Structure 1
Amino acid sequence: MAITTEVADAELAVAAALAGATVVREMYGKPLERIDKGAGDFATAADVAAEKAILDMIRAARPGDALLGEESGREGAADAERTWLTDPLCGTLNYAARSMLVAVNVALRTRDGLTAAASADPFNDEVFWTDGEHAHVRHDGVDSKLVPSSASGLVDVNLDPPFPNAPRFLAARLLADPAFMEAFRPRVLSTTLAVAWVAAGRRAAYVTDGHLRDSVHFAAGIAVCRAAGCVVTDLGGGPLHDGAGGLIVAADHETHGTLLGMVGRQATAGRSAP
């Protein structure tokens, strides 16, 4: 597909995510330079190359838009009306250990919120995408509507730091909650591909702590889940992006309410502890 200024934002998000996914797939398993980010975190040459492929495509099609990349930082005004958020390789630790559980995330934030997004799986030829109103998964060029479902009972819990809501909430403590073990089956994949899987009915829910405002990691998955009809809130059940509120994404209100109650009991226990 020729990428021009006339291409719709959602199609541009899909094309850019797939461009990044191609780089990630082609560089998989090769010896890669690591760029130290401190605190045990790092990027690889694949992160950098994939981000370049994504941003080059967006720059060509939307030269006036601002960019925020996981590796390259911000380009353009911080208060721009249109900003593209890019995480070129979500799951770098997995990837470096030759695990294929990764995602390539692209999202557009405008004055109206997240209006286009795509989260690509480089190794399954899938991209989960939204135009801000509808949510689909594209496989072999064919789009299918995303339909959330809690039937699997699988809940992904992100255990990666930082944990800004500790000790009021700790993800590891949620996994040890007997009520959680009775109601759900935990999964820990360490990639935001699992957020899109909630929209696809492959996960019942996803839970993480952290700062979500302009998050290059979570923006695409959040946009896809919202468009698919998932319940998306912070850890307190309120709107997202209001400080370090964390995230609960659930396939339905019942699953969300159950998880919200478990998180709330953590907070109550923390307040009553000596």
Structure 2
Amino acid sequence: FGKIAENTDPADLSEFTLEAGRPDTITEEKLAVAKRFGVTRVSVNPQTLNDDVLREIGRRHTVADFYHAYKIAKESGIRDINVDLIAGLPGDDFKSFSETVDRIIELAPTNLTVHTFCVKKAADVLKHHTDIYSLSGGDAAKSVAYAQLKTKFAGYKPYYMYRQKNTVGNLENVGFALEGHEGLYNVFMMEEVQSIFAIGAGAVTKLVKRPPKGGQTAEGKIERIFQPKYPYEYLRDAAALRDGDPARGIVSRREKVLAFFGKSEDDKRE
């Protein structure tokens, strides 16, 4: 957070999201620091409120851990809280998922994201757990439909959607929000109208150049810059990637970004 504050002004941001993630990693100290540095939105992701399902999918947190983490997030003063759920998890069913949705809505987070379970073809669950997992979706379709109906009656509106390969039942992922609390990053990311600068191993920067207003012939352009996948590669190549290394044919990410927008280091200095 200190490095971000040195290079940007968080006070000038419309949205500053912390993907806090697993409930068992969230502490009062972490969220107090996040709030102090200007975080306006935090994600706390239980996936399900069924301890048996959590054990089945290898999650180390419990339902009690989630409620504790959510309380910390609520008391932190951070404006928006998002909760992620996943429909169609191995061992889950409609009754369990619908109860999870009901319990989450009782907490009234400003954002609720309902994903559908997505599994890689080589995943262990496909090889050894065919009795609890069905690519056709099982109860997932009913679960997603229930979430859509329940959120509507609770005052939430769907504001972004995307699909992934190999989701159960070929279902989608949908973000719901109370009015005025939509996650801006999610919208810009899905619409591909905003450049995204990514930092860290495996991160992908997405540069977006939109056609000029009123232009009939000019086309927009999108380019991605990939960071080294593994942390040891990222750390090993940090200096070369930052400064450029002609001997290794490496062009710094800074130079790539400037070139994409038709700029140069001289423009930056001016």
The alignment's TM-score, normalised by the length of structure 2, stands at 0.25
Relative to its length, the structure with more helix (as a share) is: 2
CA radius of gyration, larger in: 2
The alignment's TM-score, normalised by the length of structure 1, stands at 0.25
Relative to its length, the structure with more strand (as a share) is: 1
